Structure 1
Amino acid sequence: MLIAQHKKETNIAEYILYMWQIEDVIRSNNFDLSRIDEAIIQKFNVEKDTQYEIKLWYQNLIEQMMKEGVIEKGHLSSVSKYTNELNNLHNSLLTTIQDAEYQNAYHKAKDDIKVLIIKSGGEAHNEIEACLIGLYGFLMLKLKQAEISEATKSAMNSFSTLIALLVDRYNKLLKGELHLSKEKSN
């Protein structure tokens, strides 16, 4: 809860990835709040009131996941909303806004994105979700200390660059600082 709040305010992509990880933690603990409390919540070095708030947060997530039917796979609608917002901004940066720096980063990542969309077997509903799925999978491989190919590292580097620019533009949009390009290429 504490980490999620901070990430949501500072880096929406990290928030999405963090929430995907939380969903997986809930699944791996079989939606059992007492197991999550023992394994995770009690290890937070915070006041009892804050621990109670964290436990309540997990309980709400468990209930939401069950209600939305994302028990075995999938993501909470409240998290997917941000993925869709990022994808809408992504499309605008490429077309309406015509952000040259962003367009350049996209062209470097485009082929790897297309490959990942195909490999995801329909799990990735758009290009930004594909990048996030790739980055999440990369994180899981690193945590498992699995061997990672140079091609995968290169693709993840291009995804990371693209997502970092997208988050920057997202933050500017929220502050009212994102502007249309003066030059149009279409």
Structure 2
Amino acid sequence: MVAQYLSPEYYGYISIGFTIFSISTVLLLLGFQEGLRRNIPQIDSIEDIRNMIHMSFYSSLLLSILYPIIIYILSSKIAANVFNDSNLTPILQVFALTIPLFVLLKLSVGALQGLKNTRYKVASQNILLPGVRFVGILLVAFLISGNYITIAWAYFISYLMASMISIYYLNKDIKPLPFTYNKKF
């Protein structure tokens, strides 16, 4: 749908931004989402499960916040020196902001799968994420008549909503998560 709406040049910008985003997230996840999915069922103690989830989240999120900051700051230089096109700068910035959200989504989905709550995984990753992205792109393309940058923001919003929902579902099962408020103080 995006290819039909945008010119080949602008679609190329979205494709480059999404490709950098995809490669970055694979590297930044460090395999923790698979480790959570495979190892949580083998652990008996809820406290040990919490510790594994905390360690995975802290390790991956630390890197997935630092790396996008570097990409965001250097986006104009990357666009100009690597791709010879400064129009790519805002796309790199939007997708850099999206990286931590995707890492959060994949880690929480991995933990949910490990906890055998696949309906939450399906709801957040397989229904909400594509649905919000589709509606967002439709709104941008037809109602707002936005440009390639607003389409990149539609991607960002879809990952934001899906990651928040998956964290909500995970927090229902494992309390407290590393970045949620604990009322025991």
> TM-score, normalised to structure 2's length?
0.33
- Structure scoring higher RCO (CA < 8 A, sep ≥ 6) equals 2
> TM-score, normalised to structure 1's length?
0.33
**Whose helix proportion is higher, 1 or 2?**
2
